């Protein structure tokens, strides 16, 4: 994935370079943001039928780096062989967790899930059903220190297990600014409203009070500003005056599941680029 000021010749230069290395471009998607004149491109290529190895990829990467320097280009290369490592954080609600684990087992999510972390012990059974380690990391004291200790412990686990991506699957805790800042680019949260409507607590209750006719869910990168990070995916479902808050919660569960799963899959497949407070999603 590359990102650089929009300019002539960059497409040709990249394509030529990859062709020179005998790479076959399998997918390519591009987008120019006209407001900021920034060019984004996602290229998926394989060099499976040429000799591969650390030496070759290093040469390729050096060549890309040189080209990138010429075009003031940010770039990142992801190897399919490097499977991302995911930590799922949960509290007491199990629907998103079940959904992710079932999709993972079905092969929909190309990642490893070495750990499920929770501030409550309730979902250990679900983790066991799927043979995944579970760590209960409660807040031992209800103050800033307790929170810091909790986050330090989570950080320790993430480091120990070499975690690339954090999924907040209805994790009902607000992180400190520090924690958010450290993990901003790789933490996916699911919020149960169509943001920016009903940011913060109890969105279904407030949606009910407002008398809306659709409810939504939003998957976004978590940043230090609550529910204000770059949106990856959103969807909605219809409700009527008959739907109580309880009905909305039930209908919302399906939405949250689907929206989070889509966002996670796209992030795992390196389809999502963050640009300012927005995302470029190269959908499949």
Answer yes or no whether residue 284 interacts with its own copies by CB under 8 A. Answer: yes
Answer yes or no whether residue 19 interacts with its own copies by CB under 8 A. Answer: yes
Answer yes or no whether residue 144 interacts with its own copies by CB under 8 A. Answer: no
Catalytic residue among 37, 74, 164, 227: 227
Answer yes or no whether residue 29 interacts with its own copies by CB under 8 A. Answer: yes
Neighbouring CB atoms inside 10 A of 205's CB total 13
Residue of 154, 216, 267, 269 interacting with its own copies (CB under 8 A): 216
Answer yes or no whether residue 67 interacts with its own copies by CB under 8 A. Answer: no
| Nearer to its own copies (CB atom), residue 73 or residue 158 | 73
Q: How far is CA 202 from CA 86, 196, 206, 222, 248, in A?
A: 27, 14, 6, 18, 12
Rounded-to-integer distance, Cα 17 and Cα 90, Å:
44
| Nearer to its own copies (CB atom), residue 142 or residue 210 | 210
- Rounded to the nearest 5°, which phi and psi values hold at 251? -65, -35
The minimum distance between CB 61 and its own copies, in angstroms, equals 19
CA torsion angle for 223, 148, 155, 103 (degrees, to 10)?
-60
> 227 catalytic, yes or no?
yes
Q: How far is CA 255 from CA 84, 99, 271, in A?
A: 25, 11, 21
Residue of 212, 224, 226, 270 interacting with its own copies (CB under 8 A): 212
Answer yes or no whether residue 133 interacts with its own copies by CB under 8 A. Answer: no
Catalytic (active-site) positions: 227
């Amino acid at each position: 994935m590359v990102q650089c000021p929009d300019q002539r010749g960059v497409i040709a230069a990249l394509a030529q370079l990859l062709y020179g290395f005998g790479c076959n471009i399998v997918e390519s998607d591009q987008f120019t943001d006209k407001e900021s004149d920034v060019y984004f491109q996602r290229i998926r290529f394989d060099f499976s039928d040429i000799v591969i190895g650390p030496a070759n990829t290093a040469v390729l990467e050096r060549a890309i780096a040189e080209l990138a320097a010429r075009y003031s280009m940010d770039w990142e290369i992801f190897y399919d062989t490097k499977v991302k490592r995911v930590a799922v954080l949960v509290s007491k609600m199990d629907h998103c967790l079940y959904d992710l684990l079932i999709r993972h087992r079905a092969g929909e999510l190309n990642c490893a899930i070495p750990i499920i972390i929770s501030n409550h012990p309730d979902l250990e059974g679900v983790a066991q059903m799927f043979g995944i380690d579970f760590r209960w990391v409660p807040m031992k004291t209800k103050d800033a220190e307790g929170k810091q200790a909790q986050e330090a412990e989570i950080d320790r686990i993430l480091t120990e297990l070499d975690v690339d991506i954090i999924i907040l699957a209805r994790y009902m805790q607000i992180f400190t600014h520090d924690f958010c800042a450290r993990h901003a680019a790789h933490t996916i949260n699911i919020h149960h409203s169509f943001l920016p409507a009903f940011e913060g607590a109890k969105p279904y209750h407030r949606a009910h009070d407002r008398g809306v006719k659709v409810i939504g869910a939003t998957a976004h990168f978590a940043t230090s500003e609550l529910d204000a990070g770059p949106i990856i995916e959103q969807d909605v479902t219809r409700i009527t005056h008959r739907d109580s808050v309880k009905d909305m919660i039930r209908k919302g569960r399906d939405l949250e599941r689907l929206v989070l799963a889509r966002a996670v899959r796209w992030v795992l497949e390196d389809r999502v680029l963050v640009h300012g407070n927005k995302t470029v999603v190269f959908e499949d």
